[in-house]
Chains A and B, each alone.
Chain A
Amino acid sequence: MFNFGTWTSAINEALLSVMPEWSAVLIECVVIGVLVLLTYTVLALFYILYERKLCAWFQCRLGPMRVGKWGLLQVFADMFKILIKELISLKGTDRFLFKLAPYLVITSSVVMLACLPWGNGLQIINYNIGIFFVLAVSSVGVLGILLAGWSSNNKYTLIGAMRSGAQMISYELSLGLAILTIIVFAGTMNINELVLEQNNGWFIFRGHIPAIIAFIIYVIAATAETNRGPFDLPEAEHELIAGYHTEYSGIHFGFFYLAEYLNLFIVSGIASLMFLGGWMPLHIPGWDGFNAVMNWIPSIVWFIGKSFFISFVIIWFKWTFPRVRIDQMLAFEWKYLMPIALANLILMAVFVALGWHF
Chain B
Amino acid sequence: MSDIKELISAINGNVAFIEGGECLEVQVPEKEWHSFAEHLKNDAQLSFDVLTAVVGMDWKDSLGVMYYLTSTKRGWDMLAVKVVCDDIKKPMIHTVSDLWKVALFQEREVYDFFGIIFINHPDMRRMFLRNDWVGYPLRKDYDASPEKNPVRLNDEIHEDDTVTYVEDENGKVNKVNKKVFEADDYVVNFGPVHPSTHGVMRFRTAVDGEVVKKVDVVSGYIHRGIEKLTEGLTYPQILHFTDRMDYMSAHQNRHCLCMCIEKALGLEVPRRAQVIRVMMDELMRISSHLLSFGCTAMDLGGTTAFFYGFREREQVLDIFEKTCGARMSMNYNVIGGVIADLHPDFVKDVKALIAIMPERLKEYHRLFSGNIIAKNRLVKVGMLPKEDAINYCITGPSGRGSNWSCDCRKVRPYSIYPELKFDEVLLDGCDSYARYMVRMLEIEQSCKILEQLVDNIPEGNIRALNVPKVIKLPAGHWYQQVEASRGTFGVYIESTGEKTPYRVHFQSPCFNLVGVMDLCCAGHMIADLVTIGAALDFVIPDIDR
B-binding residues in A (CB < 8 A) = 55, 58-61, 155-156, 159, 163, 229-230, 232-233, 236-239, 241, 319-328
Cβ-defined contact, B195 with A241, below 8 A: yes
Q: Complex formed: what's the CA distance from A55 to B301 in Å?
A: 13
Q: Tell me the nearest residue of chain B to A163, going by C-beta.
A: B210
Bound form: Cα–Cα A70–B376 in Å: 39
Q: Which residues of chain A come closer than 8 Å to B186, judged between CB atoms? A: 155
Name the contact of A230 in the complex, choosing from B210, B368, B373 (C-beta under 8 A).
Answer: B373
Q: Interface-forming stretch among B30-38, B276-284, B304-312, B419-427?
A: B304-312
Chain A CB within 8 A of B371 CB? yes
| Most chain A beta-carbon contacts within 10 A, residue among B527, B528, B529 | B527
- 16 A-B pairs (CB sep. < 8 Å): A55-B303, A60-B311, A61-B307, A155-B188, A229-B301, A236-B527, A238-B299, A238-B301, A321-B301, A322-B297, A322-B300, A323-B301, A323-B302, A323-B527, A324-B376, A325-B527
- Residues in A with CB closer than 8 Å to B368 are 322
**Which of A156, A239, A319 is B530 in contact with, Cβ under 8 Å?**
A239
**Chain B min CB distance to A137 (Å):** 29
A320 partner, pick from B189, B304, B525, B527, beta carbons under 8 A: B304
Interface assignment of B194: CB less than 8 Å from any CB of chain A: yes
Q: Counting CB contacts under 8 A, is B129 at the interface?
A: no
Q: Which residues of B contact A163 (CB under 8 A)?
A: 210
Contacts of A61 in B (CB 8 A): 307
Asked if residues A60 and B374 are in contact (CB atoms below 8 Å), the reply is: no
Contact across chains for B304 and A323 when beta carbons are under 8 A apart: no
Contact A323 B307 (CB under 8 A): no
B508 close to A (CB within 8 Å)? no
Q: Which B residues contact A (CB, under 8 angstroms)?
A: 186, 188-189, 194-196, 210, 297-305, 307-308, 311, 367-368, 371, 373-374, 376-377, 525-530
Shortest beta-carbon distance from A314 to chain B in Å: 15
Assuming the contacts A326-B525, A327-B525, asked whether A237 and B195 have C-beta atoms less than 8 A apart, the reply is yes
A232 to B527, CA, bound (A): 12
New A-B pairs, 18, CB < 8 Å, besides A58-B304, A326-B527:
A55-B303, A59-B303, A59-B304, A59-B307, A156-B188, A230-B373, A238-B300, A238-B301, A238-B530, A322-B374, A323-B300, A323-B302, A323-B377, A324-B373, A324-B377, A325-B525, A326-B210, A328-B373
Which of A236, A321, A326 is within 8 Å of B373, CB to CB?
A321
**Contact: A230 with B301, CB < 8 Å?**
yes
Q: Which residue of B lies closest to A324 (CB)?
A: B373
A304 to B196 alpha-carbon distance, docked (Å): 38
Q: How far is A233 from B305 in the complex, measured between Cα atoms in Å?
A: 19
A322-B297, A322-B301, A326-B210 are contacts. A239–B196 as well, Cβ < 8 Å? yes
With a CB–CB cut-off of 8 A, which chain B residues contact A156? 188
Contacting residues, chain B, for A155 (C-beta < 8 A) = 186, 188-189
* Chain B residue at smallest Cβ distance from A321: B373
Establish whether residues B304 and A319, one from each chain, have CB atoms under 8 Å apart when the complex forms: yes
In the assembled complex, which residues on chain A have CB atoms less than 8 Å from the CB atom of B528? 325
Q: Give the residues in chain A near B301, CB-CB below 8 Å.
A: 229-230, 232, 236, 238, 321-323
Query: In angstroms, how far is the closest chain B Cβ from the Cβ of A91?
Result: 15
Given A61-B307, A322-B371, A326-B525, do A238 and B196 touch, yes or no (CB 8 Å)? yes
Q: Cβ of A60 and Cβ of B299 under 8 Å apart?
A: no
B376 touches A238 (CB 8 A): no
Min CB distance A163 to B, Å, is 8
* Alpha-carbon gap, A166 to B107, bound state (A): 44
| B197 CB, min distance to chain A CBs, angstroms | 10
> How far apart sit A96 and B76, CA to CA, in the bound complex (Å)?
66
Contact yes or no, A319 B303, CB < 8 A: yes
Contact present for A239 and B527 (CB under 8 Å): yes
Q: Does A241 contact B373, Cβ atoms closer than 8 Å?
A: no
Given contacts A159-B526, A238-B195, contact A328 B376 (CB under 8 A): yes
Sorted nearest first, the 10 A-B pairs with minimum C-beta distance are A323-B301, A322-B300, A322-B302, A238-B196, A59-B307, A325-B527, A238-B299, A155-B188, A322-B374, A322-B373
**Cα(A159)–Cα(B153), bound, Å:** 30
Closest to B298 in A: A238
Residues of A within 8 A of B297 (CB): 322
Distance from B193 Cβ to chain A, minimum over Cβ atoms (Å): 9
**How many angstroms from the CA of A58 to the CA of B303 in the assembled complex?**
10
Of chain B, the residue at the smallest CB distance from A232 is B301
Which residues of B lie under 8 Å from residue A326 when comparing CB positions? 210, 525, 527
B188 touches A325 (CB 8 A): no
Q: Which residues of A contact B210 (CB under 8 A)?
A: 159, 163, 326-327
| Contact residues in A for B305 (Cβ distance below 8 Å) | 322
A55 to B306 alpha-carbon distance, docked (Å): 13
Partner of A325, one of B195, B311, B377: B377
CA of A238 to CA of B196, assembled, Å? 5
Q: Cα distance A79–B510 when bound, in Å? A: 42
User: Nearest Cβ distance between residue B295 and chain A, in whole angstroms?
Assistant: 10
Contacts of B525 in A (CB 8 A): 325-327
Q: How far is the CA of A319 from the CA of B189 in the complex (A)?
A: 29
Query: Which residues on the A side are within 8 Å of B195 (C-beta)?
Result: 237-238, 241
Complex partner residue of A323 from B188, B194, B373, B529, CB under 8 angstroms: B373
Q: Using Cβ atoms and an 8 Å threshold, which residues of chain B touch A59?
A: 303-304, 307-308
Expressed in whole angstroms, the Cα–Cα distance for A319 and B302 within the complex equals 7
A60–B308 contact, CB under 8 A? yes
| Nearest B residue to A155, CB-CB | B188
Shortest CB distance B404–A (Å): 28
CB distance from B303 to the nearest CB of A (A): 7
Contact call B302/A321, Cβ cutoff below 8 A: yes
Q: Which residue of B lies closest to A233 (CB)?
A: B527
Q: How far is the CB of B242 from chain A (nearest CB, A)?
A: 30
Q: Once bound together, how far apart are the Cα atoms of A236 and B530, in whole Å?
A: 11
Closest approach, in angstroms, between the C-beta of B76 and any C-beta of chain A?
Answer: 38
In the bound complex, do residue A239 and residue B307 qualify as a contact, i.e. CB atoms below 8 Å apart? no
CB-based nearest B residue for A327: B525
- CA A328 – CA B531 in complex, angstroms? 15
> What residue in chain B is nearest A238 (Cβ atoms)?
B196
Cβ–Cβ < 8 Å partners of B302 in chain A: 320-323
Q: How far is the CB of B381 from chain A (nearest CB, A)?
A: 9
In the bound assembly, the distance between CA atoms of A323 and B372 in angstroms comes to 11
User: Which residues of chain A have C-beta atoms less than 8 A from B307's C-beta?
Assistant: 59-61
Question: From residue B379, how far is it (CB to closest CB) to chain A in Å?
Answer: 12
Chain A residues contacting B374 (CB-CB under 8 Å) are 322
B365 to chain A minimum Cβ distance, whole angstroms, is 14
Q: In the complex, A241 Cα to B305 Cα: how many Å?
A: 20
Contacts of A238 in B (CB 8 A): 195-196, 298-301, 530
With a 10 A CB-CB cut-off, give which of A58, A321, A327 has the most chain B CB atoms.
A321
- Specify which chain B residues have a CB less than 8 angstroms from the CB of A55 in the assembled complex: 303-304
* A323: B residues at CB distance < 8 A: 300-302, 373, 377, 527
How many angstroms between the C-alpha atoms of A236 and B307 in the bound complex? Answer: 19
Question: Which residue of chain B is the closest to A230 with respect to CB atoms?
Answer: B373
Question: Cα distance A228–B308 when bound, in Å?
Answer: 21
A156 to B299, CA, bound (A): 17
Alpha-carbon distance A324/B373, docked complex (angstroms): 6
- Give the residue name and chain of the A residue nearest to B526 (CB): A239
Q: Which residues of chain B come closer than 8 Å to A58, judged between CB atoms?
A: 304
A236 — which chain B residues lie within 8 A by C-beta? Answer: 301, 527
Nearest-neighbour CB distance to chain A for B521, whole angstroms, equals 13
For the complex formed, measure the closest distance between the CB of A108 and the CB atoms of chain B, giving whole angstroms: 26
CB distance from A7 to the nearest CB of B (A): 44
Most chain B C-beta atoms within 10 Å of own C-beta, residue among A55, A241, A320: A320
